[in-house]
Amino acid sequence: MMKTDSQQLATRLQPREPGISDSFVFFGATGDLAYRQIFPALQQMILRDNFNVPIIGVVKSGWTIDQLKARVRDSLTKHGGSMKRPTPSIRPGSPLSLSDTWHLVQAYVEHYNNIRLNSAIGYVTPKDLLGGRQQEIHVERDRKLAEGRQQRPIRRQRAAPRGSLCVCLSQ
């Protein structure tokens, strides 16, 4: 089978091994975005051990390395927070152990199989479908709907205000 040009190009562009960056280069290191957000974000990534490459900031002409260091230091003082390693944040309700995970999954499966009505199987639970109760449930629903249709005019009549004036608009 002959490969087309696009297939050959696609196989040549596939990385041979996972890409590892040699450095992080960003432009505008003297700008407001870098001052307020990029430097503090880089600091947090470094503190969390998620960032282990050289950082290269491209600045506008006329800046010295000492001026840039002072700007970074000022940015981290005003916007960076502490230099302590942050404690990992855990979302409330997240399982903290294998046992917690097991109970969480078990509760979900219990709810899904025994309580939640599934539209794909006629708005019954999987347990009722497997137990052969689907037809019985549908007959009971139809009976309740018919009963509700019969009761609706009676309830409306009872709810109508007494002594109201009715006007016939057609003859």
Kindly list the domain boundaries of the chain, sorted by start residue.
24-79, 98-157
Confidence band, pLDDT 50/70/90 cuts, at residue 128: very high
- Output the average pLDDT for the chain: 79
Q: Where are the alpha helices (DSSP H) in 14-169?
A: 32-33, 39-47, 65-79, 98-114, 126-130, 134-159
Confidence band, pLDDT 50/70/90 cuts, at residue 168: low
Q: What integer pLDDT is reported at residue 162 of this predicted model? A: 64
Q: What integer pLDDT is reported at residue 89 of this predicted model? A: 57
| For the chain, percent of residues with pLDDT exceeding 70 | 72
Q: What integer pLDDT is reported at residue 69 of this predicted model? A: 85
Residue 20: C-alpha distances to residues 6, 24, 44, 85, 165 (Å)? 26, 11, 20, 24, 83
* C-alpha to C-alpha distance for 157 and 137, rounded to whole angstroms: 31
Residue 24 β-bridge partners: 55
Q: What integer pLDDT is reported at residue 104 of this predicted model? A: 82
pLDDT in tens, 25-70: 888 888 899 889 998 888 888 877 767 788 888 888 788 888 888 8
pLDDT in tens, 90-113: 666 777 777 888 888 888 889 989
